[in-house]
Amino acid sequence: MNNVVLGRIQSFTAENKSLLLPFGIILTCSLLFLAKVTEWDTFSIPNFVEESPHKNVETIEHQITNVNDKKYVHKQLPGIIGIGCKKCGTGAFRQFIKYNSRIKTTNQAETFFFDDLYKKGTDYYKSLLPDVFANEIAYEKTANYFTNKDVPRRIIDTYAKEMKQTPQFVLIVCDPVQRAFSDFMQAKSHREDLKKLNLVQDFETFDEYVDYALRKTGVPAADTLDDFYLRIPELLQDQKLIFLLRGVYSYYLQHWLKTFQMKDFVCVNGDRLLTDPGRVMVTAQKQLGLDVEVGPKDFVYVPDKGFYCVRTQSMKKTFCLGHAKGNTRKVKQGVTMQIGLSANCTKQLHKFYKPFMKHFAALTGSDKFLFSPQH
């Protein structure tokens, strides 16, 4: 095709040389150039694209060569969510895990999104989440998630709409007796929170509360757990019983396992997180698929506080949890000491929780959660 065009141009130019010589020369050069460009476009560009080093690029996320480039910062749903249990160390775990370079935590201690704020929508939730690079994981925790029966389905629905894989869950449990006491005493101290205060104002002491709660619930035998579980929604109509029943971990975990599998959970012993945080964090990071960056060398025991504080290799000062932490529990010689909890309460409550803890251990496949009175 190009040869025919060139032939006609050359013939026309020869026959009209005397009249069109200046114009013909210019026209011929222009058309020759155009013909060559057409030929180059037809055959050369495909060869160029074929040899491009970017021919197999899938997404921008996989192209990143510099993860610190600000243009790659984006919001994404959390890859890890701390779901509870309240008063077992969820705040401490959040503070410790954020020293792993792949973890980005929310500015708020808790978001409450899947609990009280779900109707605000996913865009609102994302506004609470940290900006992350492609190699980082967003982490949020809200201790009330574990005991809210609606949370598992809400998480499934939210992640499905965003076409994202559901997250891993960090579940921290501790001696339920100590947990109940700490929960009760916190409500007692929050005099500005009328809702919490109304739950405890009828009881001068925790011993009085325990007597009331155990009269209401009774002490179940191991062979009647299913019957007891069926009663829990009705029992919770009396909101004062929440301090006792939050510690029935097996009941709530059973509900979560209707939606998720046990492999989706990393279960942490909150008592050991208090007494041996370094080793607990090593295990947790491995189970979460993270490189171990936080370990025993990063913690120091502070006698005045009565618990461990963080002092990573990159920090020049020690970071401790806030003054509100450690008011009912201290660590001494590697043992958790409960402040103000009577021996009688301890004995009664361990008897109440014992069958539930055995069931929880069976569900998790681990006996490290069989808390005893000595702990």
What lies within 8 Å, CB to CB, of 1 at 6+ separation is none
In which band, very low, low, confident or very high, does the pLDDT at 305 lie, cut at 50, 70 and 90? confident
pLDDT per residue as tens digits for the range 235-253: 999 999 999 999 999 999 9
Cα 326 to Cα 163, 185, 308: the distances in Å are 41, 12, 10
Q: Is the pLDDT of residue 323 over 70?
A: no
Calculate mean pLDDT across residues 6-13: 52
Q: Is residue 38 part of a domain?
A: no
Report the pLDDT value the prediction gives residue 373, as an integer from 0 to 100: 62
- Residue 125 CA neighbour count, 13 Å, CB half: 24
Question: In one letter, which amino acid is 169?
Answer: F
> How is 260-323 classified by DSSP, letter by letter?
S-GGGEEEEEHHHHHH-HHHHHHHHHHHTT------GGGEEEETTTTEEEE--TT-SS-B---T
Q: Looking at the DSSP assignment, which residues form a beta bridge with residue 308?
A: 301
Buried b (16+ CB within 10 A) or exposed e, 33-69: eebeeeeeeeeeeeeeeeeeeeeeeeeeeeeeeeeee
Report the pLDDT value the prediction gives residue 18, as an integer from 0 to 100: 52
Question: In one letter, which amino acid is 105?
Answer: T
Q: Is residue 90 part of a domain?
A: yes
Q: Is residue 13 part of a domain?
A: no
Calculate mean pLDDT across residues 202-230: 92
Structural domain harbouring 107: 72-375
The CATH number of the domain where 115 resides is what? 3.40.50.300
* More confident position, 306 or 217: 217
pLDDT per residue as tens digits for the range 15-56: 555 544 555 544 445 544 444 433 333 333 233 233 333 333
* More confident position, 110 or 18: 110
Phi, psi of 330 (to 5 degrees): -135, 160
Q: Is the pLDDT of residue 72 over 80?
A: no
Calculate mean pLDDT across residues 78-87: 97
Question: In one letter, which amino acid is 375?
Answer: H
Q: Is residue 36 part of a domain?
A: no
Q: Domain total for the chain?
A: 1
Calculate mean pLDDT across residues 221-226: 83
Q: Is the pLDDT of residue 132 over 70?
A: yes
Q: Is residue 169 part of a domain?
A: yes
* More confident position, 47 or 4: 4
Report the pLDDT value the prediction gives residue 194, as an integer from 0 to 100: 58
Calculate mean pLDDT across residues 311-316: 75
Q: Is the pLDDT of residue 107 over 60?
A: yes
Q: Is residue 174 part of a domain?
A: yes
Calpha distance 263→249 (Å, rounded): 17
Report the pLDDT value the prediction gives residue 204, as an integer from 0 to 100: 92
Q: What percent of the chain is predicted at pLDDT more than 90?
A: 62
Q: Looking at the DSSP assignment, which residues form a beta bridge with residue 265?
A: 169
For residue 81, give the nearest of 134, 132, 129 by alpha carbon.
129
Report the pLDDT value the prediction gives residue 220, as an integer from 0 to 100: 85
pLDDT per residue as tens digits for the range 134-186: 899 999 999 999 999 999 999 999 999 999 999 999 999 999 999 999 999 98
Q: How high is the mean pLDDT of the chain? A: 81
* More confident position, 149 or 319: 149
Q: Is residue 1 part of a domain?
A: no
Q: Is residue 374 part of a domain?
A: yes
Cα 350 to Cα 110, 346, 347, 367: the distances in Å are 30, 6, 5, 16
Q: Is the pLDDT of residue 60 over 60?
A: no
Cα dihedral across residues 93, 98, 101, 103: positive or negative: positive
For residue 167, give the nearest of 284, 255, 273, 76 by alpha carbon.
76
Calpha distance 365→348 (Å, rounded): 26
With H, G, I as helix, E, B as strand and everything else as coil, classify residue 121: coil
Q: Is the pLDDT of residue 3 over 80?
A: no
